[in-house]
Amino acid sequence: MDKSLDISVVVPLYNEAESLPELVAWIDRVAKRECLSYEIIMVDDGSTDESWSIVERLKGEYAAIRGISFSRNYGKSAALYCGFEMAEGEVVFTMDADLQDSPDEIPAMRRMILEEGYDLVSGWKRKRYDPVGKRWPSKFFNFTARLMSGIKLHDFNCGLKAYRRKVVKSIEVYGEMHRYIPILAKHAGFKRIGEKIVEHQERKYGVSKFGMERMVKGYLDLISVTFMSHFGRSPMYLFGGLGTLMFLFGGITAVWIIADKIYSQSHGFVWRGVTEQPMFYLALLAIVLGVQLFLAGFLGELINRRSSDRNHYLIDKRIEK
């Protein structure tokens, strides 16, 4: 591994052919101005336009470009995961390919990593040029993420982030978890997470690839990552614990109802039939649900221990050094 590289810039892209030459030239200009050795890792997430052809052409102009082209669209998390695997820089940056993230932020964010001791620095687009219909749902989403994770970031989903190399080599980004990389990093033991106000550029080319449906997915993913952070390694702790409590509650209640009926009958007291009491059926339901939850936890443990091939993506083309 070439440890002399100062920075790696991972750029996931999908149908961004128009913006790529300008973005690469911008990154190159900043790196040369700061005297930084660098690489740009372009990850084409199954684009249907000329994006990959542009990447191949740019490779002839900039030796620092490396690239991956997926055979189909896997999503941003897959692109980041494969980009992180390739990254060799001391500090690894991520930024979107649509020119809304400014490479001019790279030097300051790099200093925060190297000089101020942060493991991860996330951009905060305090002044955004998105329509109101995207800004307010985003604010509410970020508030919920802060509340559930305990990480004081204003913009979890900002594409512009900086990481120590060991961070990106230690976390596993899959599904739609790219929104929650700070949470994944914290769970992996990297708790020095900072934030920097960054400039948000207006989109210059193309259209946004994200619609309002990402808000629904975002909340489902937040529940998933919260669960995985606490119980991902041992789902039995949650499901087995709840299942055991429900089973004990149902079993003790059923035994008490039966014993109360036998005692009342043997002493000549007024008694009700066991099957005439609604509580008896609730107890049986609790027993059944308890067994199911316990089995769910047990199966989760088996799957968790056997699943070692989660992130396999079919790479169609690759550009190396």
* 67 in the same domain as 106: yes
Residue 292 lies in a domain: yes
Residue 317 lies in a domain: no
**Strand duo 315-319 + 161-164: pairing:** unpaired
* 270 in the same domain as 157: no
Residue 273 lies in a domain: yes
- pLDDT greater than 90 at residue 177: no
Tell me how far apart the alpha carbons of residues 297 and 255 are, in angstroms, rounded to a whole number: 26
Q: Which of 177, 288, 293, 310 is nearest to 235 (CA)?
A: 293
pLDDT value at residue 40: 97
* 219 in the same domain as 165: yes
Q: What is the pLDDT of residues 142-172, one digit of tens each?
A: 788 788 778 888 888 888 999 999 999 998 8
Tell me how far apart the alpha carbons of residues 303 and 130 are, in angstroms, rounded to a whole number: 41
**What pairs with residue 35 in β-bridges?**
none
* 214 in the same domain as 79: yes
* 148 in the same domain as 29: yes
Tell me how far apart the alpha carbons of residues 293 and 299 are, in angstroms, rounded to a whole number: 10
* The one-letter amino acid at 14: Y
* 139 in the same domain as 14: yes
Tell me the residue range of the domain where 88 lies.
7-231
Q: What is the pLDDT of residues 200-256, one digit of tens each?
A: 777 667 666 555 556 566 666 667 766 766 666 677 778 888 999 999 999 999 999
Residue 18 lies in a domain: yes
* 204 in the same domain as 246: no
Under DSSP, is residue 176 helix (H, G, I), strand (E, B) or coil? coil
Give the single-character DSSP code of 268: T
Residue 144 lies in a domain: yes
Q: Which of 53, 18, 25 is nearest to 40 (CA)?
A: 25
Under DSSP, is residue 163 helix (H, G, I), strand (E, B) or coil? strand
Tell me how far apart the alpha carbons of residues 219 and 223 are, in angstroms, rounded to a whole number: 6
- The number of folded domains in the chain is 2
Q: What is the pLDDT of residues 178-210, one digit of tens each?
A: 888 898 898 888 989 999 999 877 766 766 655
pLDDT value at residue 208: 61
pLDDT value at residue 1: 44
Q: What is the pLDDT of residues 94-111, one digit of tens each?
A: 999 988 899 999 999 999
Tell me how far apart the alpha carbons of residues 163 and 85 are, in angstroms, rounded to a whole number: 13
* The one-letter amino acid at 310: R
**Strand duo 161-164 + 91-94: pairing:** antiparallel
**DSSP annotation string for 46-78:** S-SSSHHHHHHHHHHH-TTEEEEEESS---HHH
Stronger pLDDT, 141 or 209, i.e. the higher one? 141
Other CB atoms within a 10 A radius of the CB of residue 242 amount to 16
* The one-letter amino acid at 78: A
